Structure 1
């Protein structure tokens, strides 16, 4: 990857970017990481995931998780941007057009030369964000887009292949972008592990078995679109 690249990494939740492409972020200081789902629910509640992470309620969870994210990204010399949407566990997923507008604003503010987005595996929040990024790609034809394989869902049998097939049917091409592979230096490995460790609540929720699936080689796909294909986010 060119050293002068300005990266904008789109992360569904407060940890996805670091888990999925932390080495890439570590290799490019001042990367902007825009996380979509960072707001608490309108009325407080307690979910199974927040309880497993050690929180009494959602308000406590989101305050702590935002702080963890700032700490983790600080260890990678990255810049956090938190969009105030609510994730699916809080029963308030955003409208697709509203999400696309917010992401488009983040792009306008950041002016990246490369946008790194989730491939969109398994989790409804990840699919929603990925589809919004695909719609954004058609609005930003001069900007390169790369999709990272979402950790830990990339370990699930067949999910990557199914998503790539779905994208192909909708007019999107995905190729392994060897030029964008993150350099696997020991320094970057240490930085990524330290950043992951900063997500203390999420590691608690994953448990020992789940944590074992978090450390895997990063893999991205260079994306392109067929201009003859439909232009909606669900195309």
Structure 2
């Protein structure tokens, strides 16, 4: 079940009233994977869109090898990001933090990236994200789009915690929206997250049926994630009446623009099963879920604007 028409209309009005949209992307490609159609639509409507990529650098990248070697060429990855965002007409900004894959101590195997700890709440990375979001909110009438942290990837959770801290201010709540991370392509991942599980989809509609290999990998991740979720790290109780989900439909033109931008991320798309499989997965998600999904938090007693 998707969000109501009233929910979608409320979110559209919030977006329309902004002087610009700032999409906070944990890594290169996350913004386009989750909200590429929305970005294309907003740019077409002559609304400035900025993509702020948080984890866009690495320390001692030469010490990492194996299956992650392709991710160590940051000159290539930045060039891919530049081309993708230029294709959508969005402005690129980068916070320059080191992604978890290249922070010390090294994660224990690939699944170490999906194991969170209480240290996240007091990390320098979380504070940097919180400051960047606060700065954007204080500069004009921007609307922030941030990830929900579905899938428990450490870097995504850090960004979500920074955004959730921003909405402690009730005035900011109307200006921060949350998109579903790519790992939400797994319905099991969605149902493990305290917010997205409020609006489950039938397993028979799961996007993974269009790309079984990717679905199997995501299921494996969901079985091995450990640690607190973003709301727990912020001591934010999840109440169904305070969260609403909206599905924003994509026109054929905007969906095509999203896929053309994604095609520029060759480093990432190969790691996600290849461009054809990725496209099939996202097409099914858009069709079965009604478009790209956004969540809005409104604390009990807040106005319904």
| Same-fold call, TM cutoff 0.5 | yes
Correspondences of 1:79-98 after superposition (within 5 Å): 79-92=91-104, 95=124, 96-98=126-128
The alpha-carbon deviation at position 32 of structure 1 amounts to 0.8
C-alpha spacing 1:186/1:107, structure 2 compared with 1 (3 Å): same
Q: Distance in 1 between matches of 2:132 and 2:259?
A: 30
The reply to whether residue 105 of structure 1 matches residue 105 of structure 2 is no
Once the two structures are superposed, what CA deviation does each residue of 1:144-201 show, in whole Å capped at 9, x if it has no partner? 22111101x10224322332356497235321135xx2x4111111110100001011
Question: Does the CA-based 8 Å contact 1:71-1:195 persist in structure 2?
Answer: yes
Correspondences of 1:83-162 after superposition (within 5 Å): 83-92=95-104, 95=124, 96-109=126-139, 111-122=140-151, 123-139=153-169, 141-142=171-172, 143-151=174-182, 153-162=183-192
C-alpha spacing 1:226/1:34, structure 2 compared with 1 (3 Å): farther
Question: Does the CA-based 8 Å contact 2:61-2:102 persist in structure 1?
Answer: no
Aligned partner of 2:194 among 142, 157, 164: 164
C-alpha spacing 1:17/1:43, structure 2 compared with 1 (3 Å): closer
The reply to whether residue 185 of structure 1 matches residue 197 of structure 2 is no
C-alpha spacing 1:112/1:25, structure 2 compared with 1 (3 Å): farther
Structure 2 residues not aligned, in runs of 5+? 1-11, 105-119, 196-228, 287-291
Q: Which runs of 4+ in 1 moved over 6 A?
A: none
Report the secondary structure of 2:150's partner residue. Answer: coil
Question: Does the CA-based 8 Å contact 2:133-2:144 persist in structure 1?
Answer: no
Question: Does the CA-based 8 Å contact 1:36-1:82 persist in structure 2?
Answer: yes
Once the two structures are superposed, what CA deviation does each residue of 1:31-59 show, in whole Å capped at 9, x if it has no partner? 111110001214533344533x4x6xx2x
| Corresponding residue for residue 38 of structure 2 | 24
Question: Does the CA-based 8 Å contact 1:37-1:84 persist in structure 2?
Answer: yes
Once the two structures are superposed, what CA deviation does each residue of 1:89-115 show, in whole Å capped at 9, x if it has no partner? 002586222332233234444x34321
Bigger-Rg structure (1/2):
2
Question: Does the CA-based 8 Å contact 1:37-1:87 persist in structure 2?
Answer: yes
Aligned partner of 1:76 among 63, 81, 88: 88
The reply to whether residue 195 of structure 1 matches residue 261 of structure 2 is yes
| Corresponding residue for residue 116 of structure 2 | none
Question: Does the CA-based 8 Å contact 1:171-1:226 persist in structure 2?
Answer: no
Question: Does the CA-based 8 Å contact 2:137-2:143 persist in structure 1?
Answer: no
Structure 1 residues not aligned, in runs of 5+? 228-235
Q: Distance in 2 between matches of 1:127 and 1:187?
A: 32
Q: Distance in 1 between matches of 2:103 and 2:35?
A: 28
Question: Does the CA-based 8 Å contact 2:64-2:102 persist in structure 1?
Answer: no
Q: Distance in 2 between matches of 1:226 and 1:87?
A: 35
Q: Distance in 2 between matches of 1:156 and 1:108?
A: 35
More helix per residue:
2
- Computed over aligned residues only, the root mean square deviation of the Cα atoms, in angstroms, reads 2.7
The reply to whether residue 50 of structure 1 matches residue 68 of structure 2 is yes
Report the secondary structure of 1:158's partner residue. Answer: helix
